[in-house]
Amino acid sequence: MAVLNTARFLPEALKSIADQTFSDFEFIVVDDGSSDGSTQLLRSFAASESRVKLITRGNLGLIATRNELLHTAKGELIAWMDSDDISLPDRLALQVATFDDDAALVCLGGNAQCIDPDGNMLNLERYPLSHEEIFIAQRQGSGMRFPTTMMRRSSVLQVGGFREPFRMCEDFDLLLRLGEIGKMNNLASTLYLYRQHLSSVCASLGPNWAAYRDRALALAQERAENKLDTLQRGESFSIEITKARSTALQVSQTYTYWAHCALGNGNLRVAWKYASAALTAQPLAPYTWRTIARIAMNWMRTA
């Protein structure tokens, strides 16, 4: 687990690992220079949990932190966990059992239930099960939700771990390379509660996601044609960063998306909460008004 300023959600994330039904693991946590009280929470948790190896230091960024986690680990298998999310109790047990039954497997994920900052259910992310289906989905930038995954550590080291200059999609870049050397699967089970909030990396860098995805896919195409890609040849590149949207626009679009997801999950109360918040941020946004109309229609059907 990499941690950077997630004190609001961190206790739930830590508890979800401590409460796993599978118990034979080391829990490595790197605090990447938090300044919001996360460090104190981690130290208190580590003092009461013997399986924790806690590393605290200044900020080096996500790539360096994930690679440090990778190289610090001693286990054959590595399960990744984001510090604002929740792993369901049987996650590790189900994944370890699957690896035990399949020596060809290098990476295993599962479905993720999205939740809002307060833990309310949004949409359920379902992922393809077979290696072939995952390969096809990856060409659209999907296929697996990274923090649900468990991997063979030797395979991650073999493909070179996480790479600069990815500020996001560094996990997607890794998953593409893993799929080139071994078998990828997803379990049909929901393993994970995936937290949506405005301070997440995806929310803050969201406008740039497509550019990073396309670069990762271009590197995969290079490997398919030439065996090595630009980074593997020791060359470098930069990714143009799209100018951030106005805060009000970003908030409005994010809240509208959450409202849409909650509506799809049948949670009309939460859908209305976020649609109303989106209108407060951008009162004239047509996409928000369309969502409100859909919420109203669903409410009338259930009245």
pLDDT in tens, 140-195: 999 999 999 999 999 999 999 999 999 889 999 999 999 999 999 999 999 999 99
- Please, where are the H alpha helices in the chain? 10-18, 38-48, 62-72, 91-101, 131-138, 153-158, 170-179, 201-205, 209-226, 247-264, 268-281, 286-302
Cα-based distances in Å from 34 to 3, 41, 164 = 7, 11, 21
CB 30 within 8 A of CB 65: yes
Q: How confident is the model at residue 248 (pLDDT cuts 50, 70, 90)?
A: confident
Look at residue 299 in the predicted model and tell me its pLDDT.
Answer: 86
* Amino acid (1-letter code) at residue 50: S
For range 79-95, the mean pLDDT: 98
Rounded Cα–Cα distance for residues 291 and 297 (Å): 10
For range 48-71, the mean pLDDT: 97
Spatial strand order of the sheet with 27-32 comes to 2-3, 27-32, 52-57
Q: Are strands 150-152 and 77-79 parallel, antiparallel or unpaired?
A: antiparallel
Rounded Cα–Cα distance for residues 178 and 160 (Å): 10
For range 7-12, the mean pLDDT: 97
What is the DSSP code (8-state) at residue 82? B
> pTM here?
0.92
Look at residue 234 in the predicted model and tell me its pLDDT.
Answer: 96
106-129 burial, b at 16+ Cβ within 10 Å, e below that, comes to bbbbbbbbbbbeeebbbbebebbe
Residues ≥6 apart with Cβ < 8 Å to 43: 54, 56
Specify burial of residue 141 (Cβ count, 10 A radius: 0-12, 13-18, 19+).
Answer: middle
Look at residue 245 in the predicted model and tell me its pLDDT.
Answer: 61
Residue whose pair of structure tokens reads 């928000």 in the numeric block: 288
User: Looking at the predicted structure, is the pLDDT value of residue 17 above 60?
Assistant: yes
Specify burial of residue 286 (Cβ count, 10 A radius: 0-12, 13-18, 19+).
Answer: exposed
User: Looking at the predicted structure, is the pLDDT value of residue 205 above 60?
Assistant: no
Across the chain, mean pLDDT equals 93
For range 12-21, the mean pLDDT: 98
User: Looking at the predicted structure, is the pLDDT value of residue 11 above 90?
Assistant: yes
Residue 10 phi, psi dihedral angles, 5° rounding: -60, -45
For range 259-266, the mean pLDDT: 91
Q: Which of 60-69, 72-81, 204-213 has the lowest mean pLDDT?
A: 204-213
For range 74-103, the mean pLDDT: 97
For range 21-30, the mean pLDDT: 97
Rounded Cα–Cα distance for residues 81 and 91 (Å): 11
What is the DSSP code (8-state) at residue 145? -
CB 242 within 8 A of CB 207: yes
For range 4-14, the mean pLDDT: 97
Q: Which of 10-24, 100-114, 190-204 has the lowest mean pLDDT?
A: 190-204
122 against 243, higher pLDDT? 122
Residues ≥6 apart with Cβ < 8 Å to 248: 281, 282
Count the alpha carbons within 13 Å of 189 in the hemisphere toward its beta carbon: 17
Q: Which of 16-30, 223-237, 241-255, 283-297 has the lowest mean pLDDT?
A: 241-255
